[in-house]
Amino acid sequence: MLVMIAEDDGLHRSFARTIVERLWQGAVEVIEATNGDEAIDLGIRLAPSHVVLDLQLPRATGIEVARALWSRRADIQILFWSNFADESYVRGVARIVPPGSVYGYVLKSTSEEGMRSALRGVFSEGHCIIDREVRGIQSRVQDRLEGLTDGEYEGLIDIALGLTDKAIAARRGLSTRGAQARLKHLYEKLGVAPDGTGTDKAGSAFNSRTRAIYLALARGMINIDALRREQEKLDKWLAAGPSAGQRWPQ
């Protein structure tokens, strides 16, 4: 049984390795990666069947690592391990899990026994083991009344990156009115009043865009890792230039 532990913090890496080696004493080989690029390289070259994967790795995030590994082998069993239960990570994981794949998502605040149970459940018993707090976020994301749709989440990302209504429309293939409607729904979900309406608790004291970004950050809907990845996508879109018959938004 070959297990890869991808974790940049030495103490956490040693903690995970110790538990893995004790659980499968004499029947496991452990390899370690300290950043995302190394994890992808080792994963492709050595093909571990089981992976303990930090979501906040340098160079390439845990989500990028998992995507690269699962694109080659959907049967790899991955236990995501994170300090955070941010919605951006929960959404990111949900988007890349292949149908039928076995995975887990536990927080680093879990007890040693909790970590052992998660490892046994995912790696030996073939169960998906999801932390209770993470499950709550998954339920919220899937709730159409409370959670953001993919379109609303894209709108949140776009305003966080500083795009205008016209730029959002151009990037997402919408009319300007369609982009504005998407943002309106986003504001409603977050409880933010449109500029100047004074219908929320704060009245018209806040700009809707900056207020929405603040609330999203405070609730863990977006984080710096998500914004960094989205900025890279935006840079590629800008570098590609406008499609035929289109102009950059003015």
pLDDT reported for residue 160: 95
List all residues 6 or more positions away from 61 whose beta carbon is below 8 Å from its beta carbon. 36, 55, 92, 225, 229
107: its two tokens: 């927080």
Q: Starting at the earlier edge strand, list the strands of the sheet with 77-82.
A: 29-33, 2-6, 50-54, 77-82, 103-107, 129-130
pLDDT reported for residue 198: 46
**Greatest CA separation for the chain:** 67
List all residues 6 or more positions away from 222 whose beta carbon is below 8 Å from its beta carbon. 86, 87, 88, 156, 157, 160, 213, 216
pLDDT reported for residue 35: 97
Q: What global pTM score does this model have?
A: 0.72
pLDDT reported for residue 128: 94
Tokens 């069993």, residue?
77
Walking along the chain (250 residues) 10 residues at a time, the average pLDDT comes out as: 96 96 95 97 96 93 94 95 84 88 93 95 95 82 70 93 94 94 91 60 73 89 84 90 57
